[in-house]
Structure 1
Amino acid sequence: MDCFSINGGKNMAFTFQINNDVVWNHDEKLLAKAERNTPKLIQTTIQPAAIAEIIADEKSVNGFKSVVSEKNIAQLPDYTLGRDEKIALDLGDHYVGKFTIDIDSVGSPMDAPLYLRLKFAEVPAEIVAEAADYDGWLSRSWIQEEFVHLDVLPTTLEMPRRYSCRYIELSVIDTSPKWKASFSNPIFMAESSVSMEQLPKPVIEDKELEAIYTISVKTLQDCMQTVFEDGPKRDRRLWIGDLRLQALANYATFDDLALTKRCMYLFGGMTTEEGKIPANVFTEPNLTPDDTFLFDYSLFFATILFDYVQHTQDETVLQDLYPAAKKGMDLALRQVDEAGRLVLTEDWPVFIDWSNDFDKATAGQAVIIYAMKRFIQLAEKMQDSQVKHYQALCQQLEEFARTTLYDAEKKQFVIEGSGEVNVASQVWMVLAEVMDAKTNQEIMETTIKEQFPITGFGTPYMYHHVVEALFVAGLPEAAVQLMKDYWGKMISMGADTFWEAFKPEDLDFSPYGSPIISSYCHAWSCTPAYLIKKYLAG
């Protein structure tokens, strides 16, 4: 395996893996079932709600917000644009889809082409950001900006790419002194595999939680395309860590079982010869597994299957995918030594969270326990002859955690050797229910006292697990407060959908150095819909 690390901004890092020697198994029967569950996307015609003015505002995301212009969207054709003039359209909410607009020339005969720039932005700050200034570690090809020459007007401009946005800026780079461009009939054709009409909305009396729930659902909807995408603006692919959380949120909301099955069959149908589950897969132009492997993500295949079977009692899916889950679990268990210690390696790291500010070994130990407990229940359903073998290994992993990794005096799990205490260790050990309920509550109460407010974590992915651990530990008030402090803060800063990365202690934080490349609609941030439904709304 080759890998190279790239600085991902303050206190962040990312490692690209290149595994050229991987031998893949493609199970054509499973992949055929995946294709049969491909959804037909629902298209919805969206017309801009207003013309927007983007202004500086230090309380809004990345320092800018949108206000409704004095210009009337109904009079858009009258606001003709010449050289260096621009106008921003506000769709009224976040959408994913394709854009068309009619363009004509006004004035003297058209004696030069129209040179037009279009920007598609999820948040107002993207409109202000200049692509030329971007110097981040992700490809600039993700920037939602297009330059178009039009030789003859009138015409209907149909943009071929799909965009994820709320705001669309039309900027005339040049016409000629003799004429200006007039724009009319802007249409955004939104796409998703689900519709809000199929959503049974729970009664939520707390207005702040209701707002968090609503935006969570919108985030999920816009990430539900032909697969559960991690982000419709950037990456646009199926990641297994995101899938686990999206599926849970989906069960609590849209309950689109076909899309969940499709995604599970894609992962189950494309594994390495030795049984590793890829961290993500591509679906275009062909079904292709990525050569990136994360230890915890691979384990989550079994937990996703468990969650699905618990929700549906679908024995066929269990029969189809259990062999891949079992092979993946057996491979992961090779990383466990005779003492019951998980031994992590550089070529198969745990993710836990983007941040590299903390040691992830204890959290990794907890994740394998968490996954094994769910896998064992699947093994029992399958009447697997090795059930007792798995139970014994799980007990050994738990015993090592209780005797070597837990500090009873501190009431915290630690890193073996260094004694480091971090939030992720506590959270995952509580989720894995290694200790009894009373001790779990003490662990999280100590965590709140000594490690809150949380710093260092940069993603809603990790914050989800902290909130759920608080619920599991019997601390619902603290769980609700953290949801409000984190997701509620995003809303106060102008979120229409929830973001890929957010640090309350660093409001200007972007893991990529610029909002122009950040994802402001991201799958792993949609989980308050699940948390609220499961733990609060019933």
Structure 2
Amino acid sequence: MAFTFQINNDVVWDYDKNLLERAEANIPALLETEVRPIRIVERIPEDQRANDFELRESEKNILSLNDYSLGRDESLILDLGDHYVGQFSVDIASVGSPMDAPLYLRLKFAEVPSELYADSADYDGWLSRSWIQEEYVHLDVLPATLKLPRRYSCRYVELTVIDTSPKWKASFSNPLFVAKSSVSMDQLSAVTIEDEELKAIYNVSVKTLLDCMQTVFEDGPKRDRRLWLGDLRLQALANYYTFNDLFLAKRCLYLFGGMRTNDGKIPANVFTEPELTPDDTFLFDYSLFFVTSLFDYVEHTKDYDALENLYPIAKKAVDLALEQVDSQGRLVLTEDWPVFVDWSNDFEKSTAGQAIMIYTLKRFLKLAEAYNESEKAHYQQLLNQMVDFSKQALFDTEQKQFIIEGTNEVNVASQVWMVLAEVFDKRTNKRIMREMMKNHFPIKGIATPYMYHHVVEALFIADCSEEAIKLMKDYWGKMIELGADTFWEAFKPEDLEFSPYGSPILNSYCHAWSCTPAYLIGKYLLVNK
């Protein structure tokens, strides 16, 4: 099953006023930092650059910016020196004869150079072109301060004069970017990472997380600027090992708890502006990640008040999911409530979905114990059925791999999620992962750090730490080699031009589900070191 836009107009929503008030009580005040460009850069001709992630420093000096006046079709690219999320302003004056026509200006904001090489007019993808960070502005009178009202996610700001008149040019000065986040690098505890590659990966992971931490854990500050459950689960884990902002984690859990369908189904994502609104998109595994995210939060904080408030919602989510499980312990997925697992449509996802259900039930049982759940034995029995079915019907003892029932397909996601669910013991899990690596490494056809995260964590769980570290370095480290300041939504090492939208101009190059090396390094490599 592939991810597609869902439109469910017949959904009836239940808004829990008490839970939403608790969510709103935890809205953070955004911290603001003034950032000024550090240099002027320029494009590299196609026949001279190795890839589209390169720019070169201009001979123009950023300290003399106002000396470089621009006329028709002339431009400058300002480099902020790092990735930021916030608002931009610049002072503009006219130079030369009196201003006899308006200034027609284009501003383009880019997270990475490939967005600057792409032509917006060529975009014809399935996502709305309104996400393109590009503004066209007319200014009738100069001098003026142009302060753009929108928020941007970028490192580079390109100023292009579409037209003035032959009599005068535009001069720019005092460019200012006001960066915003709910957290600061000052909140981080000092960590010692001796491996330089891992240290760099850790630092970029932290910056990715910081830029995604706004009034909620956003999935991407460029696009979609929403709170998604799959991203929240991973962001919260990374947050616990870095900024440890418990108020933001609590806020996000209460938002999902406070907006659900009248039968208890939890949406895959929610909007917070202009008002709190649940999206009519439902993903089977994402609904379960509310349960696991609550478990992670309670385990980390011992916040039993939150458990008291949110446990009934978690229980209902589990009950709804269990309606998809037959009497043998087999998960039966349906088209109207698909499992996501990963964007890729190159593999079948039912076995991974089965494992995610098991993974969730194990954590729900721990919540149930803390809540003094009277029906705990019932859930334990259902868990045992699902585990037994997985071992007997979905595990091929000759291949030492989990399969897709009916087709015998063997894929990475099936092995990874069954190992994360710890259906077998560590010794067997290690054999499963080694067999998977033998047949499926290097990984092909998977383009998200989301799925790569789960592969790496499964390797750690299966006591394959060397392989886990190598995969982190090969995947996230490759993004750094290409100049990443923050980690990307989608990346195929074998295809640097890959975009799920048909153009890099719509890719998100700072994305929540990509920040997890900070968690992986913190949990598996720094503890007790």
Q: Please say whether Structure 1 and Structure 2 have the same fold, judged by a TM-score greater than 0.5.
A: yes
The offset of 1:273, in angstroms, is 1.1
1:116-515 alignment runs, 5 A limit: 116-515=105-504
Which structure 2 segments of 5+ residues have no match?
none
TM-score (structure 1 length as normaliser): 0.97
Secondary structure of 1:101's partner? strand
The offset of 1:64, in angstroms, is 3.7
Residue 525 in structure 1 maps to residue 518 in structure 2? no
The offset of 1:14, in angstroms, is 3.7
Secondary structure of 2:472's partner? helix
Write the letter of the residue equivalent to 1:346. E
C-alpha change, 1:529 and 1:64, in structure 2 (3 Å) is closer
Work out whether residues 45 and 190 of structure 1, in 8 Å CA contact, stay in contact via their aligned partners in 2. yes
C-alpha change, 1:24 and 1:450, in structure 2 (3 Å) is same
C-alpha offsets along residues 238-272 of structure 1, whole Å, 9 cap, x if unaligned?
00000000000000000000000000000000011
| Residue in structure 2 matching 1:50, options 39, 43, 62 | 39
The offset of 1:54, in angstroms, is 2.0
Residue 17 in structure 1 maps to residue 17 in structure 2? no
The offset of 1:318, in angstroms, is 0.5
The offset of 1:525, in angstroms, is 0.2
The offset of 1:56, in angstroms, is 4.8
Secondary structure of 2:27's partner? coil
The offset of 1:57, in angstroms, is 6.9
Secondary structure of 2:438's partner? helix
The offset of 1:494, in angstroms, is 1.2
Work out whether residues 3 and 340 of structure 2, in 8 Å CA contact, stay in contact via their aligned partners in 1. no
C-alpha separation in 2, matches of 1:445 and 1:477? 12
The offset of 1:63, in angstroms, is 2.0
Work out whether residues 58 and 64 of structure 1, in 8 Å CA contact, stay in contact via their aligned partners in 2. no
C-alpha separation in 1, matches of 2:3 and 2:258? 27
C-alpha separation in 1, matches of 2:49 and 2:364? 44
Write the letter of the residue equivalent to 1:47. R
In structure 2, the residue matched to 1:10 is none
Write the letter of the residue equivalent to 1:53. E
The offset of 1:61, in angstroms, is 9.3
Write the letter of the residue equivalent to 2:6. Q
Write the letter of the residue equivalent to 2:308. Q
C-alpha separation in 1, matches of 2:331 and 2:466? 34
C-alpha offsets along residues 19-38 of structure 1, whole Å, 9 cap, x if unaligned?
11111110000000000000
C-alpha change, 1:56 and 1:223, in structure 2 (3 Å) is farther
Work out whether residues 57 and 65 of structure 1, in 8 Å CA contact, stay in contact via their aligned partners in 2. no
Write the letter of the residue equivalent to 1:518. N
C-alpha change, 1:499 and 1:253, in structure 2 (3 Å) is same
Work out whether residues 192 and 222 of structure 1, in 8 Å CA contact, stay in contact via their aligned partners in 2. yes
Work out whether residues 56 and 65 of structure 1, in 8 Å CA contact, stay in contact via their aligned partners in 2. no
**Superposed structure 1 runs of 4+ greater than 6 Å apart:** 57-61
Write the letter of the residue equivalent to 2:23. A
C-alpha separation in 2, matches of 1:115 and 1:268? 47
Work out whether residues 54 and 64 of structure 1, in 8 Å CA contact, stay in contact via their aligned partners in 2. no
The offset of 1:506, in angstroms, is 1.4
C-alpha separation in 2, matches of 1:178 and 1:152? 15
Residue 63 in structure 1 maps to residue 56 in structure 2? no
Work out whether residues 271 and 278 of structure 1, in 8 Å CA contact, stay in contact via their aligned partners in 2. yes
TM-score (structure 2 length as normaliser): 0.98
C-alpha separation in 2, matches of 1:384 and 1:228? 30
Which structure 1 segments of 5+ residues have no match?
6-12
**Once superposed, what is the RMSD of the aligned Cα atoms?**
1.2
C-alpha separation in 2, matches of 1:315 and 1:132? 53
C-alpha offsets along residues 190-245 of structure 1, whole Å, 9 cap, x if unaligned?
00000001111310000000000000000000000000000000110000000000
The offset of 1:58, in angstroms, is 9.0
Secondary structure of 1:17's partner? coil
Secondary structure of 2:506's partner? coil
C-alpha change, 1:56 and 1:495, in structure 2 (3 Å) is farther
- Between Structure 1 and Structure 2, how many residues are aligned? 527
C-alpha separation in 1, matches of 2:472 and 2:380? 35
Write the letter of the residue equivalent to 2:415. Q
C-alpha separation in 2, matches of 1:278 and 1:14? 14
Write the letter of the residue equivalent to 2:72. R
C-alpha separation in 2, matches of 1:312 and 1:146? 44
C-alpha separation in 2, matches of 1:363 and 1:121? 36
C-alpha separation in 2, matches of 1:379 and 1:57? 59
C-alpha separation in 1, matches of 2:239 and 2:233? 10
C-alpha separation in 2, matches of 1:60 and 1:354? 30
In structure 2, the residue matched to 1:26 is 15
C-alpha offsets along residues 151-181 of structure 1, whole Å, 9 cap, x if unaligned?
0000000001000000000000011111110
Work out whether residues 61 and 493 of structure 1, in 8 Å CA contact, stay in contact via their aligned partners in 2. no
Work out whether residues 61 and 125 of structure 1, in 8 Å CA contact, stay in contact via their aligned partners in 2. no
Work out whether residues 278 and 298 of structure 1, in 8 Å CA contact, stay in contact via their aligned partners in 2. yes
C-alpha separation in 2, matches of 1:284 and 1:149? 28
C-alpha separation in 1, matches of 2:114 and 2:467? 32
C-alpha separation in 2, matches of 1:475 and 1:227? 34
C-alpha separation in 2, matches of 1:61 and 1:164? 25
| Percent identity for Structure 1 against Structure 2 | 71
